[in-house]
Amino acid sequence: MTTYDAVVLGAGIVGVATAIQLRKRGLSVALVDRRGPGEETSHGNAGLIQREGVHPYVFPRDPRTIIGVALKRRTDADYHLSSLPSVAPFLMRYFAASTPERARKTFEANIPLFARCLEAHEALMMEAGSQDLVRKTGWIKLFRKQASAEEADVQARELREIGLAASMLDNEALNALEPDIDTSRLAGGLHYGDPWCCSNPGALVKSYAALYEKLGGETVTAEIAGVQRRDGQWAVTTNGPDIAGEQLVVTLGPWSKRLLDAVGVTLPMGVKRGYHRHYKPEGEAKLNRPVLDGDVGYVMAPMARGVRLTSGAEFARQDAPATPRQLQRVLPKAREVFPLGESVDERAWLGARPVLPDMLPVIGAAPKNPGLWLHFGHAHHGFTLGPATAELVSQLITGETPYCDPAPYSPQRFTRAR
């Protein structure tokens, strides 16, 4: 059994960035995953590094929206009726954590993490030589209803108060940025100027993984069978080599809960499933930056493979069969706004986001398990925050002074609540 200073479980962007930061601090590191870096959840997002994403995605509280979701009349959220018994406890906690008061606390806790996201990504891109995968053009939220635009204007003012670029657009200004968007059904948009967008999220993660190996880190491709505390170390059993670490960092995203339940660490994590599919634009049409149709609930993002159409959230068991009906329903709506042609994919991609009820990640030491560190639960923002929160958890592991107060993200916030 080979022993390392640290073993990182999970090679998505969160795990790869964590492994890099630990190597930079002089630790011997093994990065373990059943697949190659960036081939699961980190691959399937809209490619946004959302500097502006400090406002949490709260559970809706107005009866009309809740009834619309319950009756499956909305496209931004869906659920599997057969999965409700297993997902209902998380949904109830998510609803309880979505009061204005608690959402404000999440907003405030998000500020230092999102303030670090561009800087942390850029440092890795420069070292990895992958700057060409990213465009610094921001993204646009579209509105079909004037009331939606007015509501977003309030949020935009709040973002400007903390120094971010958020500009309301009339249709003329919108077409100046995106000439091939059809504004005939739109009431304007909101341009978030600070975020960056990536044309191939999976490739960016792989470039970071190559940097990690250049720094001397080791990658183990194997199925993780289990972990156990033994002789003051964490032993990791796989279908390949068995390895051990003085420190064990769980960065398995939506698969984290299953492993932690087995060692007695229980957290109220749920998953939000999501789909995407790529389409070729018709003719010479071009999309310069991602756009979100806020009143329908999908994103169109320009990618190397074509325009990636992403769905809203689906609440179901993580291993439930794929039901990409949200994509099917939003496709005609998307074509009202932008001329999407035929799909270049055989089928829709399905992934899952790890979500805690308060929409904050868990970053820190696991309760009652020395040497076990938790780093997951970034919800919609794993691609955005992975490098920034990797710095934070690595500072905690090595005893450095953290760049921000880690208390809001501590796993202890849930154990104290019980």
The answer to whether the beta carbons of residues 51 and 118 sit under 8 Å apart is: yes
Q: From CA 376, how far away is CA 413, in angstroms rounded?
A: 14
| pLDDT at residue 1 in the model | 86
Contact yes or no for 205/37 (Cβ under 8 A): yes
- pTM given for the model: 0.96
Do 115 and 392 meet the contact criterion of CB atoms below 8 Å apart?
A: no
C-alpha–C-alpha distance, residues 418 and 416, integer Å: 6
Q: Which 3 state secondary structure label does DSSP give 240?
A: coil
What pLDDT shows up at residue 330?
Answer: 98
- What is the structure's pLDDT at 417? 44
The DSSP string of 26-76 is T--EEEEESS-TT-SGGGSS--EE-TTTTS--PPP-SHHHHHHHHTT--SS
* b/e 49-73 (16+ beta carbons within 10 angstroms → b): bbbbbbbbbbbbeeeeeeebbeeee
- Tokens 């159409």 correspond to what residue? 309
* DSSP β-bridge partners for residue 372: 248
Contacts of 62 (CB under 8 A, 6+ apart): none
For each of the domains in the chain, give its residue range(s) and CATH number, in order of start: 2-42+202-268+357-417 (3.50.50.60)
pLDDT in single tens digits along all 418 residues of the chain: 899 999 999 999 999 999 999 999 999 999 999 999 999 999 999 999 999 999 999 999 999 999 999 999 999 999 999 999 999 999 999 999 999 999 999 999 999 999 999 999 999 999 999 999 999 999 999 999 999 999 999 999 999 999 999 999 999 999 999 999 999 999 999 999 999 999 999 999 999 999 999 999 999 999 999 999 999 999 999 999 999 999 999 999 999 999 999 999 999 999 999 999 999 999 999 999 999 999 999 999 999 999 999 999 999 999 999 999 999 999 999 999 999 999 999 999 999 999 999 999 999 999 999 999 999 999 999 999 999 999 999 999 999 999 999 999 999 999 754 4
DSSP string, 189-227: EEEE-S-EEES-HHHHHHHHHHHHHHTT-EEEE--EEEE
DSSP state of 289: S
Dihedral-angle region of residue 77 (phi above 0 means left; psi in -120 to 50 means alpha; beta otherwise): beta
